[in-house]
Amino acid sequence: MTRGEKNQVIDALAVRLSENDNFYLTDISELTVEDSNSLRGVFHEKGLKVEVVKNTLLQKAMEKVEGKNFDELYPTLVGSTSILFTESGSLPAKVIKDFRKKFPKPVLKGAFVEESVYVGDDMLDFLSSVKSKNELIADVVALLQSPAKNVISSLQSGGQTLVGLLKTLSEKEGN
């Protein structure tokens, strides 16, 4: 690969890294071609974009990206590395866990999810349970709405009780 081709790869990776808030670094080496194709098929079905990358080119691309700090991921860039780009922070972890019920790989090397860095395969369980920013915002909104709904419901039901009570009292006074 010429220097110009390498620079094109670095630039393309840097663009993808800057545009994506979530990506996973995995090791899928030692999988048979059939198993690797099966894994790629599962990734494709779930909307995950997977690409095998050269570690040195990936690190140079990471260094080019402004506003994101990937320093903690540099030590993971050894051996075979595949990068998964995703919109969901937890989906790749779930897919990997499910795939590993039958196969020993892929192994999670590291992940960049919602501006946080996670290093090591032992983070897989945690990452599979991580909620996205939008899911967390929806949870907070639901929690904030809950007390207001309770107050309104109480006022509405209490209002009917009050009307009934006043009607009964007025009927008694009339007799």
Looking at the structure of the chain, the number of domains it has is 2
Same domain, 95 and 145: no
Q: Could you please report the per-residue DSSP string of 17-64?
A: HHH-SEEEEEE-TT--HHHHHHHHHHHHHTT-EEEEE-HHHHHHHHHH
* Segment-wise mean pLDDT, segments of 10 residues, the chain, 175 residues: 90 93 91 88 89 94 93 94 90 92 90 91 89 73 71 60 68 68
Contact 132, 89 (CB under 8 A): yes
Same domain, 35 and 77: yes
> Which residues lie below 8 Å from residue 119, measured CB to CB, with a gap of 6+?
72, 73, 75, 76, 109, 110
Q: Look at residue 145 in the predicted model and tell me its pLDDT.
A: 73
pTM of the model: 0.74
Same domain, 106 and 36: yes
Token pair for 120 = 């090591």
Same domain, 92 and 175: no
The domain in which residue 161 lies consists of 132-175
HSE at residue 121, side-chain half, CA atoms within 13 A, is 11
The CATH number assigned to the domain holding 34 equals 3.30.70.1730
Token pair for 39 = 């894994």
- CA dist 23 and 17 (Å) reads 8
Contact 22, 112 (CB under 8 A): yes
Contact 81, 58 (CB under 8 A): yes
